[in-house]
């Protein structure tokens, strides 16, 4: 885990991403998705560092239409980014895999956001 990479604006875990070797992150100016990323544009426009900082908890724009980034954002909104990073780090040490095949891993097996949040907290 590269904890210093933290969480992307949309909620994805840059710190665990298999692409974090070449990706410089949302705010680097080098993000290949910067021209079309709805979450990046919206959060910059509203002057938020992350989607979880926004008061609209029901927003499902862009990447938030997917369960993993929405669940991670909701977790960070409720418990804080440091708590999310702590849980992700603990889970990784206990064998939970963020990207198992391509960009799909253990956190992608959910269709209920509250179950995903429980999994993040408990790691099982």
Q: What is the pLDDT of residues 78-96, one digit of tens each?
A: 999 999 999 999 999 999 9
Q: Check whether 23 has a pLDDT greater than 90.
A: no
Q: Check whether 32 has a pLDDT greater than 90.
A: no
The region of weakest confidence among 1-10, 31-40, 46-55, 77-86 is 31-40
Range of the domain at 84: 3-122
Residues 6+ apart with CB under 8 A from 79: none
- The overall average pLDDT reported for the chain is 91
Gap between the Cα atoms of 15 and 25, Å rounded: 10
Helix axes 81-93, 67-79, angle to 10 degrees: 120
Tokens 């253990």 label which residue? 106
Q: Check whether 72 has a pLDDT greater than 90.
A: yes
Beta bridge partners of 101: 104
Q: Check whether 64 has a pLDDT greater than 80.
A: yes
Q: Please, are residues 11 and 70 in contact by the beta-carbon 8 Å criterion?
A: yes
Which residue, 24, 44, 100, is CA-closest to 68?
Answer: 100
Q: Please, are residues 64 and 43 in contact by the beta-carbon 8 Å criterion?
A: no
């Amino acid at each position: 885990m590269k904890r210093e990479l933290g969480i992307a604006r949309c909620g994805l875990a840059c710190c665990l991403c298999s692409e974090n070797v070449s990706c410089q992150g949302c705010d680097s100016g080098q993000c290949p998705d910067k021209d079309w990323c709805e979450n990046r544009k919206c959060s910059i426009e509203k002057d938020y560092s992350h989607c979880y900082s926004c008061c609209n908890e029901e927003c499902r724009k862009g990447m938030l239409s997917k369960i993993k980034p929405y669940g991670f954002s909701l977790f960070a909104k409720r418990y804080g980014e440091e708590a999310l990073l702590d849980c992700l780090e603990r889970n990784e040490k206990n064998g939970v895999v963020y990207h198992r095949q391509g960009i799909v891993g253990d956190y992608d097996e959910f269709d209920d956001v509250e179950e995903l949040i429980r999994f993040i907290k408990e790691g099982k």
